[in-house]
Amino acid sequence: MKRILITGKNSYVGNSLEKWLEQYPEQYQVDKISLRTEDWKQVDFSVYDSIVHVAGIAHVSTDPKMEEMYYRVNRDLTIEVAKKAKKEKVKQFIFMSSIIVYGKRSTENGVINKGTVPIPDNFYGKSKLEAEEKLNEIKSENFKVAIIRPPMIYGKDSKGNYPKLARLARITPIFPDFPNKRSVLYIDNLSELLKLIIENEEQGTFFPQNKEYVRTSELVTLIAEAHNKTLIKTKIFNPFILLLIKYSGLFNKVFGNLLYSQEMSLYKEDYYISDLRKSIENTELECRDFNV
């Protein structure tokens, strides 16, 4: 049996992984700790095989007053936990980073491949990338570091951009049919990959995504269909969207391209639990009676 410690008691990814591993009670024992106080420093890490570090600030902020906090939590706290883990002979440290480390300037037409150099353009991305770099400095043969750079994660009770799109899909009768492509990641697919990374004692950097790319209009349509709503798609707004993408961060986030090349995300074992349509149906199942 492998013993796993998840940092971050309120993490969506951490809670989902814990629930996923409950399917295998004879293979995994999972504990969680909060890093909000100094109490974690008294925890004995030596009893754990893997630490999954998901604690951190996960949203993007442009408030300069927040910059110091991002580096203190996403970078400095990560390294402090990792050094304690290494000192206490933990075999594997898994760090949840983000596709955001690539920023917008480092991609060609939004496509990320193995040669793409990360150039983060906000302090969320910079703090994550600097944490990655420092982790790679302390990794060793006996202290394996696995870095995960997921795209937008969605699933039941997910946070971030997906719930905003889901709310929009439930109320809007019309949506732009703009031909963009994005990598996304269903939470169960991520949880299964994390299980495999733990089981196989992996190290290195991983770029998980669903098998399918998705355009934003397709995602919104699938959400609407899950609520038995009909959505009209139109190309009439596309010239304006094409122009606004260049000048508006919001429009670029919604309608721009941001995707990993598929070969980057392949793993030696299949971690694709659900395809896109099924994953959206599962995600929206509990919300079908939502009264807008």
Determine, yes or no, domain membership for 161: no
Query: Which residues have C-beta within 8 Å of that of residue 118, sequence separation ≥ 6?
Result: 101, 102, 103, 106, 125, 129
Determine, yes or no, domain membership for 257: no
Tell me the CATH number at 63.
3.40.50.720
Determine, yes or no, domain membership for 224: no
Determine, yes or no, domain membership for 165: no
Find the domain containing 99 and state its range.
Answer: 2-154+184-211+263-273
Domain count, the chain: 1
User: Is the distance from CB of 36 to CB of 48 less than 8 angstroms?
Assistant: no
Determine, yes or no, domain membership for 95: yes
Query: Helices 216-226 and 276-284: crossing angle, nearest 10°?
Result: 50
Which residue's entry shows tokens 């139109």?
234
Determine, yes or no, domain membership for 78: yes
Determine, yes or no, domain membership for 144: yes
Query: What string of pLDDT tens digits covers the 292 residues of the chain?
Result: 999 999 998 899 999 999 999 999 999 999 999 999 999 999 999 999 999 999 998 776 778 888 999 999 999 999 999 999 999 999 999 999 999 999 876 666 789 999 999 999 899 999 999 999 999 999 999 999 999 999 999 999 998 889 999 999 999 999 999 999 999 999 999 999 999 999 999 999 999 999 999 999 999 999 999 999 999 999 999 999 999 988 887 888 899 999 999 999 999 999 999 999 999 999 998 655 444 3
Determine, yes or no, domain membership for 91: yes
Q: How many angstroms separate the most distant Cα atoms in the chain?
A: 60
Q: What is the pTM (predicted TM-score) of this model?
A: 0.94
